[in-house]
Chain A
Amino acid sequence: MTKPKVATTSLAGCFGCHMSILDIDDRILKLVELIDFNKSPVTDIKKFSERCLVGLVEGGCCNEENVHVLQDFRKNCDVLISVGDCAIMGGIPAMRNGISLKECFQEAYQDGVTVYNPSGKIPSDKELPLLLDKVYPCSAIVKMDYHMPGCPPSADTIWETLVALLTNKPLDLPYELIKYD
């Protein structure tokens, strides 16, 4: 019997939601009985090698690489879940959305008080993915099936949600488990 596959990624996030996944502690042993991880920082698999049942996406999209990864996830996963507030609404990175991109660059590479950049150039190496005009929630770029709020969502929330999804049971989270912070 083959186990369902799960992929995870962190886009414009802080890996805090991935930490929260690991926070399920010893239940991770139960989890690997239920699933196999495919593309994920957990396995360090860089490219999808199989179609996945679930994709867990942390972070919103702040650059073109984020967009490509997210679109890749959408193509390779049956069910896509926004994990955490950044995936849902952009989170802390989206605080730049009220400021023009030009000002962001100027502050980061030219005018900021801690900047040392004698050339005054804005980095443009082609290895660097270009920033988007603003930080986008995942749902603005691809269709997301479920949303797991929190910063990060608690380990219990992640555990309960995954188990319900994998065992095809309705999810009924207790009040304390749905939080936006």
Chain B
Amino acid sequence: MNENLEAVIREICQKYANDSARMMDIVRDVQASMGGVSKVAMKAIAAAVGVAQVEVESVVSFYAHLSSESKGKVVIRLCNDFIDRMFGANRVAETFEKEFGIKFGETTDDGLVSLEYTPCIGMCDQPPAALINDRIVTWLSTDMASRIAKAIKEEGNIDKLNLPNGDGNNSHPLVNSMVHNNLREKGDMIFANFVPGAALKNAIAETPVECIKNVKASRLRGRGGAGFPTGMKWEFTRGADGDEKYVLCNADEGEPGTFKDRVILTEAPELMFEGMTVAGYAIGAQSGVVYLRGEYQYLTDFLNDVLQKRRDAGLLGKNILGKEGFNFDIRIQMGAGAYICGEETALISSCEGLRGDPKNRPPFPAQKGYLGKPTSVNNVETFCAVAKIMEKGAPWFAQKGSTGSAGLKLFSVSGDCKKPGVYELPFGTTVKELLQKVGAEDAIAVQVGGACGITVAPNDFDKEICYDHLATGGSVMVFGPGRDLLELAHSFMEFFEEESCGYCTPCRVGNTLLKRRLEYIIEGKGTPEDLIYMETLGNTIKHTSRCGLGQTSANPVLTTLQNFRSLYESKVKPSVDGLQPSFSLDKAVGLSEEIVGRKSIHHHD
């Protein structure tokens, strides 16, 4: 048994040249082949690639999709983010639990099925959604959940259900998925016609330095949300010492409510790969890596096929488009369920086969990034914009959008609206204009920028969505009358508690404390002092956390406190006689009563 296990692991490790930097691929493959990465497996991997066993354990224990325990043959990961719950995820969960006779977090005794919850899987426009192993199912009803459960119990998979494929490339034989694009409004940028090579031809007609100058002139800023000027990032990377440089594409689209990269990857991967290749030319890199979130595994065969076609067409590989010495190729690195890996230095850590901990800065990735080499990490959409800039020219791009935020932007709109989906609109569009387009004029709140963004109140709906006012990497979640915004804030705090890497104190501990205090308030056990406590704690987290995740993790509480304070005020009441309302004697003696077998006789409350 063990000999067999070791042989399998040796083979997997050899496939990746026993390179510890490919640890993510190795542990993913081991998990796929054995259902989990046991301690014995960790030891074998460690021996094969020459690292300590505890280093392997460190990686496996970090990612939500990896496990040291053996999971069921079929793992159902139901998305339980706020939007999916709004549209019935709880009822779907109950159906699965009833059908399989287990609770979420458990595996059936026969080892057939594991039920797990997962944060946003990038399907908020078609909720509730779930991952069944690598396959995505959307618009789940209780009825469909029953059918899925029956199929799994009878066949061990859902192949025979013949779930209808989605539109566009979702029906491509290599994708074969029921996911829908819901592409509601196309601008003349990302989803416009594009002839592969068109951008590259223009790029290589210039020097790399001129190329970067063009990107700078276009005023393009990073589409992931932080908005760093792309041209400047490239300039730093190009200027850094070293011959070996890297282009990394951040396709770890994990911000709750964002799914526009998924549509790019499905419908415009050529544009993205071309943008990466332009970046390779501009900064002098020979290799690119697309870090693809584990949830989008279903797209890998398709993307690898596109890459192969580009190689065949001379758009990747050696002497690209006949340009002597211009060599560049791209590989896809799969993630394994960790929101933090969307942070650029955590993404680099993960690509290096490590836990997804962010790195200390300085040095910045442009100086010392992937494998210690100068690296530019850009968003999927940013690379697409670069390709269009090369094709159409910097002025064409620069004149679009608003003053500080040039260009068009993709918005992923979900929640209480008639037309959820992807919209390509100029920066500077107001919330109100967007709500009209999506059919949500009665919204009581709009979450701009995802969990780490801002909960916007109606009196701010005139504000523009752009880097200077309401910044977003694309996520726009709409909430209609009757939605409980404190529950929304709570679900985001749960998300951050779960997704914090745990490296620094304020994010690791502070978010747990903040979430608990919010729970007291929601339960009606909060006092006015608790609001001040939460504000102070939230600001401490914001100002002392080490990376962007931590620095924005208190936003769900801080921005609702700012924009919807009356909701909190209606929940809290001053403590009576100096008693802490969060303490309940009834609850505290409940266990004792059960064990001892009598009721408390001192009960007053």
User: Which residues of A are at the interface with B, using a C-beta cutoff of 8 A?
Assistant: 64-65, 67-68, 71, 74-75, 80, 101-102, 105, 122-124, 126, 129-134, 136, 139-143
Contacts and interface: CB of A to CB of B under 8 A. Distances in A.
B1 interface: no
A173 B604 CA distance: 40
Interface residues on B, range: 20 to 34
Main secondary structure of the interface of A (DSSP, over half): mixed
9 tightest A-B contacts by CB?
A130-B592, A132-B588, A124-B596, A74-B578, A143-B578, A130-B589, A133-B591, A131-B592, A141-B583
A102 B579 contact: no
Contacts of B590: 133
Given A64-B600, A126-B598, A140-B583, A75 B588 contact: no
A141 B581 CA distance: 8
B592 A132 contact: yes
Contacts of B578: 74-75, 80, 142-143
A121 to B, nearest CB: 9
B602 A122 contact: no
Contacts of A68: 602, 604
B127 to A, nearest CB: 37
Nearest to A65: B602
A64 B579 contact: no
A143 B575 contact: yes
B601 to A, nearest CB: 5
Contact of B597 (A75, A124, A129, A132): A124
A80 B578 CA distance: 10
B90 interface: no
Given A105-B595, A124-B598, A126-B598, A132 B579 contact: no
B219 to A, nearest CB: 54
A71 B577 contact: yes
Nearest to B593: A130
Contacts of A122: 595-596
Interface in B12-50: none
A141 B580 contact: yes
B595 A143 contact: no
Nearest to A139: B580
A140 B591 contact: no
Contacts of A124: 596-598
A23 to B, nearest CB: 29
A140 B580 contact: yes
A80 B577 CA distance: 12
A68 B579 CA distance: 11
B587 to A, nearest CB: 8
B585 interface: yes
A7 B591 CA distance: 32
Interface string B183-212: 000000000000000000000000000000
B312 to A, nearest CB: 61
